Structure 1
Amino acid sequence: MTTPAGTAGPGRRLARWARALRGTGGLRLLAAAAGGLTLYAAFAPSTLWWAAIVGIALLGLSVYGVRGRSGYGLALVFGLTFYLPLLNWSGVYVGSLPWVALAVAEALLTGLVGILLAWAARRLPWWPIWAAAAWGAGEALRARFPFGGFPWGSLAFSQPDGPLVPAASLLGSAGLTFVTALAGFSLAVLLRRCWGHRRTLAVRVLVLPLVLLVVAFGLGLAGRLTMVSQADAASYPHRTIAVIQGNVPKPGLDFNARRMAVTDNHAQRTHELAAAVHAGTAPQPDLVIWPENSSDIDPYTNADAAQVISDAVDDIGVPVLIGAVVGTDQPHSYYNMGIVWYPGTGPGETYIKRHPIPFGEYMPWRSFFRIFSDKVDLLTGQFLPGSRVGNFDVAGIPFGDLICFEVVEDGLTRDVVNGGAQVLVVQTNNATFGWTDETYQQQAMSRVRAVEHGRSVLIAATSGVSAVIRPDGSVESKIPLFTPGYLVPSVPLIDRTTPGTVLGAWVEWLVTIATPLALLWLFVAARRRDRVGSRPGKRDADQHRPTDHRTPGDDIQEDASP
C-alpha cells in the first residue's frame, strides 16, 4: 500500500509526534502520567498485579537521566494520575475538594521520591536497587506525615494476587514494597538498554537488570518457605468465630441517621445465627464479632441500646466484640471503641482506636481549612486516640483488634501480633464510602497482612465486604456489599512468628535511609576531594595525573541511553 504524495502515513506521523514530544520532554511527561494510571490499575478490585511493576517501570523511564527538579515534576505528575483515581472514594459524599486535596498532598510527597530517583541515576551504580529504596523512603514518609500519615496506596497492597506477595512473610510489607519497586525499576533499565543498543544488542548490557528481576521474583519465591500455608494452618487448634454484617438503612455520611436501626440490624443477624445454632444448621461459635459503629449510640449511657445488645449476646450465649461510639468527659469528644460484651454480665474489656483519621474522625486546623470549604463543619465532634494496643484474650482466643484504617498501618498491625494475637480482627464501617472501591482496597490490605504475619484475618463490616481471610492471603468466604448476613468460620489459632513480623520494621528503616545516606556520603566525599584538591602544590601535581571524569553511575547511563 502506498501513501499519496504530500501526505504522511500513520507510522510516519506517529514518529514525527514522538520526536516533537521527545524534544520538549513530552515523552517523559506521557510516561510519568501513564505510569501513574498503570499503577492504579493494579489495585483492588483489579487483580492485575503486574500493572504495578509496569507502572513503576514507566516512572523509572521518565525520570532516568534528568536533574532533581525535573525528577520532582515528573514524579508529581505520576502521583497525580495515580492518587486521583485511587482515592476517588474519599469524596463520594463530601464533594471533590477534599478528595483532590488529599490526592494532591500525596502527589506532592511522591514528588520528593522523584528527586532521589534522578540523583541516584546520575551518581550511584546498580540504580534499580537505590531507586527501589528511594520509593520505600517515600512510602515511609507518607505513612507518617502529615497528621500521622496516610499510607494508602502502598505498593505492597497491589500484590495480594501476585507471585511477589510471599515476600511479605519474609521481609514484611515494606520488604514487599521494595521487591515490587525493584522489579519495576529493573524493568525500566532493561527496556532502556534494549532500546539504546537495539542495533548492536549485547548480552552484557542486559545482565544487571535481568539479574535484579530474578532477585525480585526469587525473593517472592523464597517467601513461600516462610509463609503459613493452608496445610500448615490445619495443624493448629481451631476455634469458631462468627462475623456479623447487619447492614445499614442507607449508604452515605448519614448511614446512622437512624442510629438504633444499625444496632437493631446487627442484633437481628445475631438472633438469626442463634436460631440456626439451636436448629443445628450452624456451628456454635466461641466468639462473635460485630463491626465498627455497630452501636453508634453509647451503650454505657443509653439503656435501650444496652438492652438490645444484651438480648442478642444472651441469645447467642458467647462473648460478642461490638463496635461503639462512646462519649468522654470532654464536650463533643468521643472514643471509637471495641467492647467485649459478655452474656449475663454485659460490657467488659475495651480497645480504643489509636489513630483516628484526620478529616474523618477529627478536623485538624479547622479554621484554616474552612477558608477552602465549609464541608469541614460537617464534622461536628472529634474522636480522641487510645493508648493501649488492641490485644484481647476472650474465650481462650488471643486476638488483635484493628479498627478500620488501622489495618493499613504497619506498626499498629505489628503491635497486636507482637502482643500475642493469634487471629486478627478488623472492625470497619464502609457505609460512608457507598459502592466505591474503598472496601475492596481495604480487603486487599488485610490479605497482605494475613501473609505478612501468618494469621487469619476476619473483617467485620457494617455494610460489607465482610470476609474471612486465610493465613496465606486467600479469601475463604465473604458477604457482598449492602447485604445482611453472617459467617461462621473455623479459624486456626497460630502462634508461629514469621520473619516478616520480626524484620519488617528493620527493613523499613534500612530501605528508608539507604538512598539518602548513599547520596549524602557521595556529596561529603566530593566536598572532601575538593578541599584536598585546592591545597597549594596539589593542583600542580594533579596537572600531570590522568583524570577520569566518570561518576559511579556512568556505566549504567552510557549503557542505558538511547
Structure 2
Amino acid sequence: MRVAAGRYAPSLRSPWWRGAAALASGGLAVLVFPQPSLWWLAYVALVPLILLIRTAATPGRAVLDGWLGGTGCVIAVQQWLIPNLTVFVLPIGALLGLAWIPFGWLVRRLLGGTPGPGRAAAGVLLLPAAWLLGEVVRSWQYLGGPWGLLGASQWQVPPALRLASVGGVWLVSYLLVAVNTALAALIALPRARTVALAALLAVAVLVAEVWSLVPLPPRTGSVRIAIVQPGVISGPMARFDRGVRLTRQLVGHRPDLVVWGESSVGFDLSAHPGQAARLADLSRRVGADILVNVDAQRADRRGIYKASVLVGPHGPTGDRYDKMRLVPFGEYIPFRSVLGWATEVGRAAKVNRQRGTHQVIMNVGSFRIGPMISFETAFPDMSRHLAIRGAQVLVVQESVSTFQGSWAPAQQTSLAAVRAAETGRPMVDATLTGISAVYDAGGHQIGPRLGTTASTVRMYTVPLAGGRSVYVRSGDWMICAALGLLAVAGGYEVIRVVVMARRRRPRINSPASKAG
C-alpha cells in the first residue's frame, strides 16, 4: 500500500500547524537574552514571524498569528517564572500577547501580497512602532513590567548602549525591529529590495553618527564600593550573621560604601536594637556607611515592606527607601481574594508586601546614591528620575534565590548595564544570591562578576560621571515618536476607507440608481 508523499507532513495551511509555527517563531527571541545571550540573533530573530504573518489569508488570521507570536515570546523569555506562576503562565502569556495584535495586522497590511516600494517603506517605519507599542503596553507594572524588551538584549554591544543613552532601550528596540523588517522585505519582496537595502544603510549610518557624535559621560572622580554577597543561606539570622562576617573583612580597606543584597536583614531594625547596634559597630570598624535591605513586618504593624536602609556609625541614619514596584505573584497576588489559591499550587507570595510611595536620594559621604530594589531595575523611568534628582551612583539590591539555576540571574544583571548606559550613571548591582556586577556610566562592566555560587565580599573602584545623557534630558521621546507615526498612519487609513466607501456608494440622481 502506497502512502502519498508528504501526506503527514505539517502544512502552514493547517490552522493548528500555523499556530504552532507562530508560537515557535515568537519564542525564538528567548535566545537573544541571557543566558544564551546570542545578541546577534536579535537582528534576524523576528524575520520568521514576519514572513509567516505576511502570508496570512485574512486580516483576522494575521491578528491571530501576531497574538500567538507575542504569547510565545512572553512565555519563552520568562519561562523561569513557571515554578511561581504554574497554571497562570499560559493565561498571563496570552494576555500579554494581545499587545502584538497591531503588529500582526500591520505586517499583513503593509507587507502582504506583492507590495511596492511605498508600502514596504511604510512597513519599515510602522512595524517597529507597532512592536514598540506592544512593549510599552506590557511594561505597565501591573501587567508584569518591562521584562524582555528586545533592545535590552544588546546590553553587551557598545554601539547599542550608546544608542540607549540617546533614546533609551526603546530606540534600540525600534531599530532592531526595523532591521528585521528590512531583511524580511529583502527576502520576500523583490519589488521592495531597493527600499530594504536603503533602510539597512540608514540604520547603519544612524548608529555610526550616534557613535561618533555622542560622547561618553565625562569622568569626575571615583569612589570605592564593596558588595557583600552571602549566597544561599536559610534563615534570616544566619543570613545576617554571614553578612556581618563578610563585611568584617573590609576593615582596613577603607571603602566609601558597603552594599548588602535584597532581603539581607529579615527583621525590623527598630524592633531589634541589638542587631542595629551590631551594624553601627560594623560601620565604625569599616569606616563606611552600610546599605542593607530590610524585608520584614514593620514594628508599627503596617505590613511587610522591602526597604533600603542606610546604617552609619551611630545606627540607621534615617535614610530609607521602600520598594515601590512589586513583582506580581512573587511579592503580592493581584486580587488575592480571588486568586489566593495560587499559593497552593506554586511558590506565589504567601503575604502581600506593601508599596513605597516615592523615590529617595541618599547622601553617602561626598557622593549621592539612588537606590532601587530588584525588579525595579527593569523600569527605565525609575533610574532616569534618580539621575534627574542628582544621583551619582545607582544602586540596586537584588535576591534571585527563588530562581537559582535558571536564566533569571543573568537576565536580571544585564538590565543594570542598560540602565547605566541610559542615564550616564554607574550602577552597582548587589545580590543576596544571584549575579552581582558593577557597570560604569557607559554600561561597560567593571571588574569581575560574582556568580550565583559566590559567598564573598569584593571591592570595586567605581568611576563617577558628570553631565546628563540625551535620554535623561529628553525622556521617552522615542515612544512619543512611535505613537505619532501610528497615529498618522491610523488617520490615513481612516481617510482612505471613507474615501473608498464614498466612491462605491451609488449616486441618488444617477441613471443607474433611477433604473434600479
Q: TM-score range by the shorter chain?
A: 0.7 to 0.9
Counterpart CA distance in 2 for 1:70 and 1:470 is 46
Measure the CA separation in 1 of the matches of 2:484 and 2:304.
Answer: 38
Aligned partners of 1:260 and 1:305 also within 8 Å: no
3-state SS in 2 of match to 1:488 = strand
In structure 2, distance between residues paired with 1:446 and 1:495: 19
Q: Are residue 218 (structure 1) and residue 218 (structure 2) matched?
A: no
SS in 1 for 2:11: helix
Would you say 1:133 and 2:117 are equivalent positions?
A: no
Choose which of 455, 459, 462 in structure 2 pairs with 1:484: 455
Q: Deviations for 1:512-555, whole angstroms, at most 9, x for unmatched residues?
A: 353254124321443255347748479789xxxxxxxxxxxxxx
CA distance in 2, matches of 1:492, 1:262: 30
Give ranges in structure 1 of 5+ residues lacking alignment.
Answer: 1-5, 198-203, 250-254, 542-562
Contact 1:42 1:48 in 2 (8 A): yes
Distance 1:346 1:392, change over 3 A: closer
- Superposition map of 1:403-418 within 5 A: 403-418=373-388
How far 1:136 moved relative to its partner?
0.1
Q: Select the residue among 147, 152, 165 that pairs with 2:147.
A: 152
> Partners of 2:49 and 2:511 in 1: how far apart?
45
Distance change in 2, residues 1:76/1:522 (3 Å): closer
Give how far 1:80 is off. Answer: 3.5
Alpha-carbon deviation of 1:376? Answer: 7.3
Letter of the 1:90 partner, please give it. L
Question: For residues 433 and 410 of structure 2, what CA distance do their matches in structure 1 show?
Answer: 12
- Would the alpha carbon gap of residues 101 and 268 (structure 1) be closer, same or farther in structure 2, given more than 3 Å must change? farther
1:164 partnered with 2:166: no
The equivalent residue for 2:226 is 242
**Cα distance in 2 for residues equivalent to 1:125 and 1:538:** 41
1:39, distance to aligned residue in structure 2 (A): 1.1
In the alignment, which of 412, 421, 442 is matched to residue 451 of structure 1? 421
Q: 1:460 to 1:399 in 2, by over 3 A?
A: same
Moved more, 481-490 or 103-112: 103-112
- The alpha carbon displacement at 1:294 in A equals 0.9
Look up the match of 2:64. Answer: 73
Q: Please list, as runs of the form range in 1=range in 2, the aligned pairs for 1:261-410 lying within 5 A after superposition.
A: 261-274=238-251, 278=252, 282=253, 284-328=254-298, 331=301, 333-370=303-340, 374-375=344-345, 379-410=349-380
In structure 1, give the amino acid aligned to 2:426.
S
Change (3 A) 1:149 1:80: closer
Counterpart secondary structure, 2:45: helix
Asked if 1:441 corresponds to 2:411, the answer is: yes
The letter for the 2-side match of 1:482 is T
Letter in 2 for 1:77: L
Instruction: Give the Å deviation of 1:337.
Output: 0.8
Opposite residue 192 of structure 2, the aligned amino acid is V
* Larger mean Cα displacement after TM superposition, 81-90 or 527-536: 527-536
One-letter amino acid of the counterpart of residue 347, structure 1: T
Task: Name the amino acid aligned to 1:511.
Answer: A
Q: Once the 2 structures are TM-superposed, how far is the Cα of residue 30 of structure 1 from its aligned partner? A: 6.1
Give the letter for the 2:74 counterpart: Y
Q: Structure 1 CA distance, aligned partners of 2:211 and 2:263?
A: 37
Aligned counterpart for 2:194 among listed residues 207, 228, 231: 207
Amino acid at match of 2:236: R
Deviates more, 1:213-222 or 1:473-482: 213-222
Residue 471 of structure 1: how far off its partner (Å): 2.4
Distance 1:176 1:342, change over 3 A: same
**8 Å CA contact 2:270, 2:299 repeated in 1:** no
Corresponding position of 2:94 = 104
Match of 2:176 among 170, 175, 180: 180
The structural deviation recorded for 1:494 is: 1.3
CA contact under 8 A between 1:295 and 1:305: conserved in structure 2? Answer: no
TM-score by length of 2: 0.88
Separation of aligned partners in 1, 2:395 and 2:110: 41
| TM-score normalised by length of structure 1 | 0.81
What is the CA–CA distance in structure 2 between the aligned matches of 1:37 and 1:440, rounded to whole Å?
18
* CA displacement, residues 94-120 of structure 1 (integer Å, 9 cap, x when unaligned): 473244444333334334532343345
Q: Which residue of 2 aligns with 1:90?
A: 81
CA contact (8 A) 1:402 1:425 kept: yes
CA distance 1:269–1:354, change in 2 (3 Å): same
Residues 29 and 62 of structure 1 are in contact (CA less than 8 Å); yes or no, is this contact kept in structure 2?
no
Q: Which runs of 5+ in 2 are unaligned?
A: none
Structure 1 stretches (4+) deviating beyond 6 angstroms? 537-541
Look up the SS of the partner of 2:179 in the other structure: helix
Cα 1:33–1:364 shift into 2, 3 Å: closer
Which residue of 1 is the match for residue 476 of structure 2?
505
Q: Output one character per residue of 1:365-397: Cα deviation in whole Å (capped at 9) or x when no partner.
A: 113224666347953322222222232222121
> Number of aligned pairs?
502
Please give the alpha-carbon distance, in whole angstroms, between the structure 2 residues aligned to 1:176 and 1:440.
Answer: 20
RMSD of equivalent CA atoms: 3.0
CA distance in 2, matches of 1:87, 1:438: 8
Asked which structure has the greater RCO (Cα within 8 Å, sep 6+), the reply is 1
Paired amino acid for 1:69 = G
Moved more, 263-272 or 209-218: 209-218
Change (3 A) 1:287 1:212: same
Q: Displacement of 1:152 after TM fit?
A: 0.7
Per-residue Cα deviation, 1:129-183 (whole angstroms, up to 9, x for no partner): 10000000000100117x2542111001111133534211221111111011111
